[in-house]
Copies of this chain bind each other. A is one copy, B any other.
């Protein structure tokens, strides 16, 4: 006689905790709006509108191997040598093959790094607001994020050492920083980075430094964690080709560390998943051969966008935000009670001459319950004329929505 399961199995606690991405969870509403014929300006996601380098496209089109083999688990060695050359040219940092693991996007670099330094139950200190997917990777890794709040009035710069130190306890394994910051655009100074390093040394912590936006600097000066003194064994840099080369869909990232035990652990995780995509790795290898002024041109374009967005937001009554120093995001406080409701309403119930916009609700960028409720993250990844239009829609939407 066949048994009927007395109780159907439930998904794991981890799976229940796994957050929906605040950047993506409103996508079905955007899709519905598009089906109604409405144009949606996507300011919700760090998806630049810039074309991939022609070197990349050419390599894709010329792909011509008899067999589409798994790549090496560590990554394509020609790509690794380009990464090493890039770190030398851009940061004057000397790397060897043993310091680099190619990952399937910066996403996988983050997941591998968290898993390499922390076991289930351990903690990692982060600065709020933070890149929302840190939450997702932490849940997958069974790790808790211990958030230290940063404030707009302070340009989202780091609080004093003592304040951060309160969040360090016996379970803490690492401090995770992102500069230039997603979602605030803040660029941490050398002094701030050294303060974090000092805490890491004092408490024997790893320093995870998420640096995919290092070429996009508009104010201040970028300081890489790889330049910190006496931190070689503790620094793990997470990096990505996605933003630098406008290659988001290629899913090629890098984990970089002078601590070869960490890189070796990442390699063993990489062996479990066999390899990153072969063709995309080959094509990203070619992308590294872009002319040297490519990054400057890109940064100049984003600066124009930032300036326009910041000016338009500043002119809106009740809206406040800090001027981003780098990357291509900002957090804006809106004169609404619940920014997620407002974002939903923009997609479902509002349009201006057949157009509307999508933003990422701010609460998802905080771990503290209730924080960021009146905020949105805006990615300035569209051309200035589109941004002009999108901000006009935002202003009109805010007026119509009122203080609800």
Q: Residues on A close to B: CB < 8 A?
A: 2-9, 11-16, 18-21, 23-25, 27, 45, 47-52, 56-57, 60-61, 63, 66-73, 104-105, 107-108, 111, 115-122, 133, 135-137, 140-142, 173-174, 198, 200-202, 204-206, 229-230, 233-234, 246-251, 261-262, 265, 268-269, 271-280
Task: Give every chain B residue within 8 A of A119 (Cβ-Cβ).
Answer: 12-14, 142
Residue pair B9, A249 in contact (C-beta under 8 Å): no
Task: Give every chain B residue within 8 A of A280 (Cβ-Cβ).
Answer: 277, 279-280
Residue pair B277, A251 in contact (C-beta under 8 Å): yes
Which 9 pairs across A and B sit closest by C-beta, in order of nearness?
A: A136-B272, A249-B278, A120-B120, A21-B271, A15-B265, A107-B273, A5-B201, A68-B249, A18-B268
Task: Give every chain B residue within 8 A of A136 (Cβ-Cβ).
Answer: 268-269, 271-273
Residue pair A272, B11 in contact (C-beta under 8 Å): no
Residue pair B3, A261 in contact (C-beta under 8 Å): no
Q: Report the separation of the CA atoms of residues A143 and B6 in the bound assembly, to the nearest whole angstrom.
A: 24
Residue pair B13, A249 in contact (C-beta under 8 Å): no
Q: Report the separation of the CA atoms of residues A229 and B4 in the bound assembly, to the nearest whole angstrom.
A: 10
Closest Cβ neighbor of A42 among chain B residues: B69
Closest Cβ neighbor of A381 among chain B residues: B67
Residue pair B271, A20 in contact (C-beta under 8 Å): yes
Task: Give every chain B residue within 8 A of A278 (Cβ-Cβ).
Answer: 249-251
Residue pair A173, B271 in contact (C-beta under 8 Å): no
In the complex with contacts A52-B68, A68-B250, A137-B272, A117-B11 CB distance below 8 A? yes
Task: Give every chain B residue within 8 A of A248 (Cβ-Cβ).
Answer: 68-70, 274
Residue pair A273, B111 in contact (C-beta under 8 Å): yes
Q: Report the separation of the CA atoms of residues A14 and B266 in the bound assembly, to the nearest whole angstrom.
A: 11
Residue pair A204, B115 in contact (C-beta under 8 Å): no
Residue pair A67, B14 in contact (C-beta under 8 Å): no
Task: Give every chain B residue within 8 A of A202 (Cβ-Cβ).
Answer: 3, 5
Task: For residue A181, give the distance in angstroms from its CB to the closest CB of chain B.
Answer: 18
Residue pair A277, B265 in contact (C-beta under 8 Å): no
Q: Report the separation of the CA atoms of residues A380 and B218 in the bound assembly, to the nearest whole angstrom.
A: 56
Residue pair A27, B246 in contact (C-beta under 8 Å): no
Residue pair B73, A21 in contact (C-beta under 8 Å): yes
Q: Report the separation of the CA atoms of residues A25 and B63 in the bound assembly, to the nearest whole angstrom.
A: 28
Q: Report the separation of the CA atoms of residues A115 and B137 in the bound assembly, to the nearest whole angstrom.
A: 12
Residue pair B2, A230 in contact (C-beta under 8 Å): yes
Residue pair A3, B198 in contact (C-beta under 8 Å): yes
Residue pair A71, B249 in contact (C-beta under 8 Å): yes
Residue in contact with A234 in the complex, picked from B5, B69, B200, CB distance below 8 Å: B5
